[in-house]
Amino acid sequence: MNRRRFVQTITAGAGALASAPALMFPHSARAQQERRTAAQGKRELAADVIIVGGGMGGCAAALAALRNGLRVVMTEETDWIGGQLTQQGVPPDEHRWIEQFGATRAYREFRTAIRDYYRRNYPLTAAARARWNLNPGDGSVSRLCHEPRVALAVYYALFAPYLGAGQLRLLLEHQATGAEVDGDFVKAVAVRSRRTGNTLVLRAPWFIDATELGDLLPLTRTEYVTGAESRADTGELHAAEKANPHNHQAFTVCFAMDHRPGENHVADKPRDYDFWRDYVPRLTPPWPGKLLDLSYSSPATLQPRALGFNPAGDTPGTLNLWLYRRIAHQGNFTPGLYASDITIVNWPQNDYLLGNLHEVSEPEAARHVEAARQLSAALFYWLQTEVPRADGGQGFPGLRLRGDVLGTEDGLAKYPYVREARRIQPVFRVVEQHVGVANRVEVTGRPADEVFAEDYYDAVGVGSYHIDLHPSTAGDNYIDFASLPFQIPLGALLPRRVENLIPAGKNIGTTHVTNGCYRLHPVEWNIGEAAGALVAFAGRRQLRAREVREKRNQLAEFQNFIRQQGIETHWPKGRFW
């Protein structure tokens, strides 16, 4: 009897090592047979690696696999690849050394390509064109705030030769629905087209889960956790007293808008406007008032903090939210091109707290996404009609949704910005004791100005960001504190049991706490690039992924392999921050 079967939920069984397939490339007799099978109309595709999810981690994994000669099939739920930078409308959150070090070479080249795209295709002012560190939007959140379509164009330029040669097959608007598993090995993943409803079976010796929620983990019976771990489990200073798998950071449906003074773009009041206008988050410590207000809990102190909003100028003494995630600064372009700046709204006021998208039914997840969309629509209407103005008036009726910027009809992003995914139970778990300043002081006994993050022997990348947990579905207010420039350990990319499934994003082996600094743009890219390189390295040597880490000679070779391809594994020596 054939033990292989497709599953919609977790399957049973643990295969013996002897049943493991040959994890090798390229173009084996088996692969040729699978291509013949597909040609006979059984709707199967075969490749060297299947990447499910076309976000930042998935695209970086694909680029690493492709440049190392692998055949790749990559799927994406929406009609845009690029994840946070494109379909979710989130300008990059990065550390302050990003222009010099602390990211992979490919990531920095991607950033350079975005700037070059503007220089080639946009009528910039002479001053803007001359800036080596051009920031098209001059948003305060990042050194490179740009329009999502530009990132999308750069992604396709990078993939163009591989698409043309047939080395990459890109399946847009396809969602994973099942998996064929054989003990500790994934044999195939089924994906369904959102356009046609047709199902494709994708076969490969390797699979990479680059979805925003870690979708392949339950489908393949890969052990995972969700939500917040307990302090007894992790030992972390900022862990919860009691574990709660349903306690997740808020997710956000971003939107784009511009401002046309003297015009009136106010449309019908959103369906749930009255609810959201009066909604007060129930958090501990308390939120200072209504969600739709220009005050919030300061993440670092949790004290009330005033914010400003003015499309026309500064807001002295406060952060002007208009400038925070601005992606097009009118002054960077020749006069008359842009009638207004364009900004992205990903603010505390549209963080959705009433439910999460993990471990819930598909209808319930859809209900939460729709409610989050209603929250963003309500926030936009409030900005048009009720937000306090410096002149004592209320509202900016000239605000206009820019769906064209995000590729949608309604101005809202194609996909929610999800801060937290299912996380594998890994070979090695990253905890606060490895990266948090206060926890490192406790662990090492050294003063704060002398501590460094854990130095992992199996490092496959680097990153830096403070630990930033947004208010959560279980009622936590911000958890925000200092962390140290850190490394990405290979052990956090390896599931404890499943042999040929590699995570490539927020689904690696962090905790609820450490996810707060490992979830940002350049780190997700680095994780994905390391995952794609790992598959190429291990496959060609007929090694299992965990063997690359366990065999020190292979680990040294792999680290040299990725360094030669521009993946930094260590920060500069000494204290540089």
Mean pLDDT taken over the chain: 93
pLDDT band for position 42 (50/70/90)?
A: low
Rounded Cα distance between 394 and 269, Å, is 16
- What is the residue extent of each domain of the chain? 23-229+425-435+486-569, 251-406
Strands 467-469 and 255-259: unpaired
Between CA 78 and CA 174 the distance in angstroms is: 7
Instruction: Record the tokens describing residue 31, joined without a space.
Output: 């692969």
Mean pLDDT on 509-521: 98
Whether residue 73 has pLDDT greater than 60: yes
The percentage of residues in the chain with a pLDDT greater than 70, rounded to a whole number, is 93
Contact (CB, 8 A) for 245 and 226: yes
Biggest CA–CA distance in the chain, Å, is: 77
Q: What's at 65, amino acid-wise?
A: A
- Taking CA atoms, 497 is separated from 185, 233, 494, in Å, by 9, 20, 8
The shares of helix, strand and coil residues in the chain, as percent rounded to the nearest 5, are 30, 20, 50
Give the CB-side neighbour count of residue 142, counting CA atoms within 13 A: 24
pLDDT in tens, 155-169: 999 999 999 999 999
**pLDDT number for residue 378:** 98
Distances (CA, A) of 533 to 9, 67, 560: 29, 9, 11
Spatial contact of 549 and 555, defined as CB atoms under 8 Å apart: yes
CA dihedral 567, 557, 211, 7 (to 10 degrees): 180
pLDDT of residue 256: 98
Specify whether the CB–CB gap between 333 and 137 falls below 8 A: no
Per-residue pLDDT at 39? 46
Residue 241, amino acid: E
How many other CB atoms sit within 10 Å of the CB of residue 12? Answer: 7
The pLDDT of residue 313: 82
Instruction: Let me know how many helices (H) and strands (E) the chain has, helices first.
Output: 17, 25
Q: How many residues does the chain have?
A: 577
Q: Quick count: other Cβ atoms within 10 Å of Cβ 150?
A: 21
pLDDT at residue 4 above 70?
no
Q: Which two tokens stand for residue 537?
A: 């390295």
Per-residue pLDDT tens digits for 186-203:
999 999 999 999 999 999
pLDDT of residue 7: 41
Q: What is the mean pLDDT of residues 443-459?
A: 97
352: left (phi over 0), alpha (psi -120 to 50) or beta: beta
**Cβ(54)–Cβ(83) under 8 Å?**
yes
Give the Cα separation of 468 and 25 in Å (integer): 40
- Name 225's bridge partners: 423
Q: Which two tokens stand for residue 416?
A: 């929610």
Q: Return d(Cα 423, Cα 505) in angstroms, integer.
A: 9
Please give the radius of gyration of the chain, using alpha carbons only, rounded to the nearest integer.
24
Cα 560–chain centre separation: 27
Q: Evaluate if residue 25 carries a pLDDT over 80.
A: no
Check residue 32 and give its pLDDT: 54
pLDDT category at 23 given cuts 50, 70, 90 is: very low
Return the pLDDT at 270. Answer: 98
Average pLDDT over residues 460-473: 98
Per-residue pLDDT at 2: 40
The pLDDT assigned to 314 comes to 85
Which bin fits 161, alpha (ψ -120 to 50), beta or left (φ > 0)?
Answer: alpha
Average pLDDT over residues 288-300: 97
- Interval 167-189 mean pLDDT: 98
Contact 575, 543 (CB under 8 A): no
pTM: 0.93
Higher pLDDT, 129 or 20: 129
**35 pLDDT tier (thresholds 50, 70, 90):** low
Residue the block writes with tokens 């926030």: 379
256: CB partners within 8 A, 6+ apart: 89, 327, 342, 343, 344, 345, 401, 402, 403, 405, 406, 411
For 347-362, the pLDDT digits (tens) are: 999 999 999 999 999 9
**For residue 211, is pLDDT > 90?**
yes
Does the pLDDT at position 13 exceed 80?
Answer: no
CATH class of 23-229+425-435+486-569: alpha beta
- Residue 152: pLDDT over 60: yes
The Cα-based distances of 35 to 30, 76, 192, 255, 273 in angstroms read 9, 22, 19, 42, 53
- Residue 521 three-state SS: helix
What's the half-sphere exposure (Cβ side, CA atoms, 13 Å) at 14? 5
Contact 340, 283 (CB under 8 A): no
Mean pLDDT confidence for 527-549 = 98
Cα dihedral 430, 432, 434, 436 sign: positive
pLDDT for 500 equals: 98
Q: Of residues 27 and 450, which shows the higher confidence score?
A: 450
DSSP state of 19: G
Measured between alpha carbons, how far is 158 from 331 in angstroms, rounded to an integer?
29
DSSP labels, 393-450: -B--TTEEE-HHHHT-SSSB-SS-B-----EE-BSS---HHHHBHHHHHHHH---GGG
* Residue-wise pLDDT tens digits, 231-282: 999 999 999 999 999 999 999 999 999 999 999 999 999 999 999 999 999 9
Place of tokens 């199996």: 458
